């Protein structure tokens, strides 16, 4: 019985860790996404919403929602 309880506890700890890891990188990820998007559009940090969802099968969904004021004109050098 004690072994089953230990296995259950270990699974619980691993699931909690997997759910909290995305939260640790969320701010950095949002800043990096904003940096890339700002090359192509006018956008503010407050207007970007980034969320990471942990699925039941252990994979992640990355959700990005943003308000864009305008798309920048791109110049090509070809």
Is 45's pLDDT higher than 80?
yes
**62: nearest Cα among 26, 36, 27, 11:** 26
Task: For residue 60, name the pLDDT band (cuts at 50, 70, 90).
Answer: confident
**51: nearest Cα among 66, 67, 60, 64:** 64
Q: What is the pTM of this model?
A: 0.62
Is 49's pLDDT higher than 90?
yes
The pairing of beta strand 48-54 with beta strand 70-71: unpaired
């Amino acid at each position: 019985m004690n072994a089953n309880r230990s296995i259950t506890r270990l699974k619980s700890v691993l699931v909690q860790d997997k759910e909290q890891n995305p939260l640790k990188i969320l701010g950095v990820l949002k800043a990096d996404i904003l940096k890339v998007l700002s090359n192509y559009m006018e956008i503010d940090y407050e207007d970007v919403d980034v969320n990471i969802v942990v699925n039941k099968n252990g994979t992640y969904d990355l959700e990005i929602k943003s308000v864009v004021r305008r798309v920048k004109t791109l110049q090509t050098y070809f």
